[in-house]
Amino acid sequence: MSKGIIARGIEKSFGDRRILRGCDLHVRAGERIGLVGANGCGKSTLLRIMSGRMDADFGEVERPGTIGLLDQEPNLPGVTVGDAADDALQWHRDLLQAYEDALGEGDMDKAADLQARIESHGWTVDHRIDMLLDRLDAPPRDRLVSELSGGEQRRVALARTLLGAPDVLLLDEPTNHLDSDTAEWLQRTLEQSTSTVILVTHDRYLLEAVATRIVEVEDGLCVSYDGSYGDYLVSRAERRARMERAEDSRLAFLAREAEWASRSPAARTTKQKARLQRLDALAKTRPIKKEETFELDLSTGTKTGRTLMEIRDLNKGYDGRTLIGDLNLSLGPKERVGILGPNGCGKSTLLRMISGVEHPDAGSVTLASRVKIAVLDQARSGLDPTDTVFEAAGNGASHVTLGEKQIHVAGFLRRFLFPREVLDQRVSALSGGERARLLLARLLLLGCNMLLLDEPTNDLDLQTLRVLEEALLVFDGSVVVVTHDRAFLDRVCTTVLAFEGDGEVVQYGSRLQHLKALQRRRDQARRDKKAAAKPAKQATAAPAPPKEPVQKLSFNERKELGALPAQIESLETEQSQLEGQLADPALYRDRADDVPGLTRRLNALPKKLARLYARWEALEAREE
């Protein structure tokens, strides 16, 4: 059974910057909390403090159970991926050893308690490692940890976190670097999980499906909203409206009382001292933090023709493997192409060919003469971690050119919600979302009419994500975007390119159209599998014996024949469901006793299906 976690009065500062100023967060066992807030507000800091990986300046955390943290920048143990994954199950090996020690010491009460804990997870759990690594598209076990990309490290770290079977899961942007299918698998896993979950994510579909309560880190405090993400948006807007009305009333009252105190002799009498004290207390009340937002206008106003890019018969592959085969695509102003596909299928390779960094094996990418490209890559390259924020924005200059105007860098950065106290901070100290926001500011200065965006939503807070979406919707150039953010694709993209394997890249009108086509192919594959499962008629070398008269079907046999397809489909559905259950790590953690029975049922189904198919064919042959 999962356990909750409680944080009280958490305070944390970094230099002069006070991030958390008394956060209280009480999470009940089994709750699934969506933790939201602006970039840099302290979400990741709060998760690290709650996990015990970071100390708070003040406050305390009660951790009655085990904690698993997926950090934005994980530190993997061991030399290889296999080492890192095996290490995640050390808790289970320790549990088995403690059980054996208790038996050896004759402490039967302790042994019984440990046995119950082991049985709740299962006596053998090593098989989960390969299942989870494969499901999360992690690198092979023999890959060196030192050679992994940031995305590969994150996928291995997510597998480790789930393998740890903690009472409380703290997940910081778990869908970063996951393809759409894997993100949907993770969504189903978290929906079915009995663990307590605290989730930081920009994936709005994931938040809506998983979170049972939303907690916003606002002005250094935690504000709780019951219900889903959609409920939170409504409740938050209503709360902000009430707070702003109250603040307006407070300021108006302060102004009236201050005027009275300055001009009224009665204010200096003893009788009025209480009124002055109330005025002083009201003046010291912390004002509500203003709702900060910014606008991003990437449009250039440059006149262009109807076509900005033409791709003709494009081919690309590596080591005998075709990634892109005979791709054709035309892209004009105000067109936004979303690229879908599993990790490693060639999406980023396509962006590099468009930008000219890589060359195709065959075919061509032709850009119009007035096209100017800007790239936002996954690594968020283009920022020197040793630069200050001020230096990074202005490339060392004190002013930047925006349109035809010269603007001081501090004023320019203020538009992107970087306060003056952050300007001297090193880029390396920024959160992932703050770095992305800084790169968006630099994009604005480039004045480009073609944007190549590789996972632009990673690490963005929900407010910045909406600002980026609005900017792209009115952008007068063209956009090619690689993203696994389903809500972003549905809202922004005018067309979708789907990498479907073996070099096939298909254009669809939308992501939903692609999903429907994918489901049709899966249904057809299942029908083909069903047809192939029918026993083939055996050909014999010997002359066939004289045919005996075929006995016509009786009434009951015709009735049996009519019912067979539904019976077969029911068993195949059960087979699929059982395979899904046995592939789910939550089953082994929460219902380990059910595993043997489910396995026996699954193993028995192929024989049952074979008998039904054989009976179906025999009856059909007599009906002809």
Domain ranges of the chain: 5-233, 309-516, 533-538+548-623
Three-class SS state of 54: coil
In this prediction, residue 596 carries a pLDDT of 66
CA separation for the pair 38, 463 (Å, rounded): 7
Q: Which stretch of 133-137, 179-183, 542-546, 594-598 has the lowest confidence by average pLDDT?
A: 542-546
Pairing relationship of beta strands 336-340 and 495-499 according to DSSP bridges: parallel
In sequence order, the β-bridge partners of residue 376 are 453
Distance of alpha carbon 84 from alpha carbon 80, whole angstroms: 6
pLDDT tens figures, 277-323: 666 666 666 666 776 777 788 888 777 778 899 999 999 998 888 99
DSSP reduced 3-state for 545 = coil
Q: Tokens standing for 331?
A: 């892209």
Indicate if the pLDDT at residue 329 is higher than 90.
Answer: yes
Of the candidates 402, 475, 464, the one whose C-alpha atom is nearest the C-alpha of residue 438 is 464
Please answer whether residues 461 and 39 qualify as being in contact, where contact means their C-beta atoms are separated by less than 8 angstroms: yes
The per-residue pLDDT for range 49-64, each reduced to its tens digit, is 999 999 999 999 999 8
SS (H, E, C) 383-402: CCCCCEHHHHHHCCCCEEEE
Inform me whether the pLDDT recorded for 36 exceeds 50: yes
pLDDT at 537 over 50: no
Please say if the pLDDT value at position 541 is more than 50: no
Q: Is CATH 1.20.120.1200 correct for 533-538+548-623?
A: no
Query: Of residues 243 and 19, which shows the higher confidence score?
Result: 19
CA 302/CA 555 separation, integer angstroms: 78
pLDDT tens-digit readout, 240-274:
888 777 777 767 767 776 666 666 555 555 556 66
**5-233 carries CATH number 3.40.50.300:** yes
β-bridge mates for residue 216, sequence order: 36, 223
Average pLDDT of the residues in 329-353: 91
pLDDT of residue 539: 44
The DSSP element (H or E) to which 8 belongs, if any, is strand 5-14
In the sheet that holds 5-14, the strands lie side by side as: 17-27, 5-14, 58-62
Listed residue (234, 255, 233, 172) closest to 458, CA to CA: 172
pLDDT at 282: 62
Q: Which CATH architecture has domain 309-516?
A: 3-Layer(aba) Sandwich (3.40)
In this predicted structure, which of 6-20, 248-262, 346-360 has the lowest mean pLDDT?
Answer: 248-262
Domains 5-233 and 533-538+548-623 share a fold: no
Tokens of 156: 């291995």
Label the pairing between strands 17-27 and 5-14. Answer: antiparallel
* Angle, CA of 49, 55 and 57, to the nearest 5°: 110
User: Residue 153: which residues within 8 A CB-CB, separation 6 or more?
Assistant: 74, 76, 145
pLDDT, position 28: 94
Rounded Cα distance between 624 and 611, Å, is: 20
pLDDT score of 462 more than 90: no
Answer with the residue of higher pLDDT: 375 or 382: 375
Q: Which two tokens stand for residue 344?
A: 């490693």
Amino acid 538: pLDDT: 46
pLDDT at 624: 53
Q: What is the Rg, in whole angstroms, of the alpha carbon atoms belonging to the chain?
A: 31
Single-letter amino acid code for the residue at 178: L
At 325, which amino acid appears? G
What integer pLDDT is reported at residue 540 of this predicted model?
45
Tens of pLDDT, residues 82-107: 999 999 999 988 988 998 898 888 88
